[in-house]
Amino acid sequence: VTLVAVVIAATSEITAPLVLGAFLAIVFLPAADWLTGRGLPRALAALTVLLGLAVLFVLVTWATGAALVDQADEVAANLDKAVQDIKGWLENTSVDGELVQQVRETTTDAGPLLNGGVASHFVSILDSAFGFITGAILGTIVFYYLLKDGPALFARWLERADDEHSRSIYSDIGDRTVTNLQSYFRGRTAMALVNGLAIGLAAVVLGIPAAGAIAVVNIIGGYIPYLGAFIGGAFAVLMALGEGGIGLALIVLAITLVVNLLLENLLEPKLLGGSLDLHPLLILLATSLGGIIAGMIGLILAAPAVAIALDIKAELKETGFFDET
């Protein structure tokens, strides 16, 4: 496991998109099957799904970028105001003077960054992402061929098994893995949309600027277990702090906590079911390690990857596979 982690970390620009392509192929396999069932050739069905996903990605990226660029000055001004408010609170309390000075120096250094606008930093992020192009192309190829030939390749692999018992074990593992992964991402998408739209709507009602950006950040954060809620919630609270002070910030903090608690306790068990039967601490550790190894893709895929690995181990143990080997 350590060796695999080191290899992935060293080659994450290529391996991470390949893994993402494989995961997405499994998630969108029902769409290709549906199109094939309607008489479309398998290759054309896979290409249609690929193009549809590409169009969706471009639209989401364009909408997100447009929202951030259009509201860059407003976001920067409010975040800058929030920083100034925090400095003022520290100066008016009994906090050690040296600490106040350190905070002042840090926030002063951060001022030019904020005043520079979010748009320029967003562009720099996009610029650095071009190193990802090679891996993205390979990931797209993996996605297409797994959609097109994945089931047939798996069936051929099963035929090479030594006996009927082994084929049955591998077939059950494959079916269970695919089902759980598809269920997980459907549930995670629904939760991310509910989370982002609820917090974004609250921002609109409360008159907080950049409500669209807040909604987008929280939708994207919804795909990252636990950590995403902190990132999206922190952004919303900072915007509220800059717009209306501590009172509005506390209201937004309360709304964010309530929304996430409701999602985790009411919607998550129904939407995710048994597709991610892991302890929250294990999910948090896996997500953090995945981010260290493979960046954003690792943050998103780490938890389901660990769940799949543990699920395969449990299935093999129940069937006596380890006893036989």
pLDDT digits (tens, 9 = 90+) for 51-79: 998 898 888 777 666 666 665 666 667 66
Q: What is the DSSP string of 284-316?
A: HHHHHHHHHHHHHHHHHHHHHHHHHHHHHHHHH
Provide the pLDDT for residue 115.
Answer: 47
Which residues in the chain land under pLDDT 50?
107, 110-111, 113-119, 126
- The SS3 assignment for 77 reads helix
At what angle are helices 280-318 and 2-10 packed, to 10 degrees?
120
At residue 114, the pLDDT reads 45
Separation between Cα atoms, residue 229 and residue 235, nearest integer Å: 10
Q: Say how many residues make up the chain.
A: 325
Query: pTM here?
Result: 0.67
d(CA 135, CA 112): 34
Two tokens at 117?
A: 């606008």
What does DSSP assign to residue 117? -
Interatomic CA distance for residues 217 and 200, integer angstroms: 9
